[in-house]
A and B are shown apart, each in its own frame.
Chain A
Amino acid sequence: AQKITQTQPGMFVQEKEAVTLDCTYDTSDQSYGLFWYKQPSSGEMIFLIYQGSYDEQNATEGRYSLNFQKARKSANLVISASQLGDSAMYFCAMREGGKLIFGTGTRLQVFP
């Protein structure tokens, strides 16, 4: 069974608009961490934001925020005020048992 599911293979958003990238996860652990990574066309993996399973507040890092709904097992990434440089692949990942498990990613394209 898929541990991390990203149902949006591709998304388009206009510059300066907000966009939400979906992520659902499956685990029976009580302690886990949820991460989002960005992979631009240059190929490197860039850590964006983290949410712990016990965190009551949604994580925020600049223009990135994580909409964490524990009961629904979802951890959606919200990018506010999109910029052309946000065009990239975005991966949701979950850390459990020491390992980081990735979803298949969403390709975001920001247009002017």
Chain B
Amino acid sequence: DAGITQSPRYKITETGRQVTLMCHQTWSHSYMFWYRQDLGHGLRLIYYSAAADITDKGEVPDGYVVSRSKTENFPLTLESATRSQTSVYFCASSEWTGYNSPLHFGNGTRLTVT
């Protein structure tokens, strides 16, 4: 079924480890986004991408790295995980950048850093 999928759904890692969260969409949407959700903060934008090989920082990019070599994939890497990066991470996509274009979200990855 077409859509946007995130993997893994749950991940536990240790402080200092590198971890990569995967995001794959089958719609060929140009725009892709990574958000983190924390209690009291809503969803905050980490990084976004307008197309393959084009990425830009969001509100909270520190400690994260993204890449987009293919339109359909947008992995998020925590190079050296910290406890403050314990969160629920959502990937999203939209067909275009217009202000009338909704984002469609994956089901999220719950990451715990111990």
Contact = CB atoms under 8 A, between A and B. Distances in A.
To the question of whether A and B form a pair in one complex, the answer is yes
Contacts of B42: 4, 91, 102-105
B102 A50 contact: yes
A96 interface: yes
Interface residues of A, number: 25
A32 interface: yes
Interface stretch (A12-20, A40-48, A72-80): A40-48
Contact of A99 (B40, B48, B88, B102): B48
The B contact surface, by secondary structure, is: strand
Contacts of B108: 43-45
Interface centre among B40, B42, B104, B105 (most CB of A within 10 A): B42
Interface stretch (B64-72, B75-83, B93-101): B93-101
Interface in A58-96: 91, 93, 95-96
A105 B43 CA distance: 9
Interface of A: 4, 31-33, 35, 37, 43-45, 47, 50, 52-53, 91, 93, 95-96, 98-105
Interface of B: 31, 33, 35, 40-45, 48, 50, 58, 88, 90, 92, 94, 97-105, 107-108
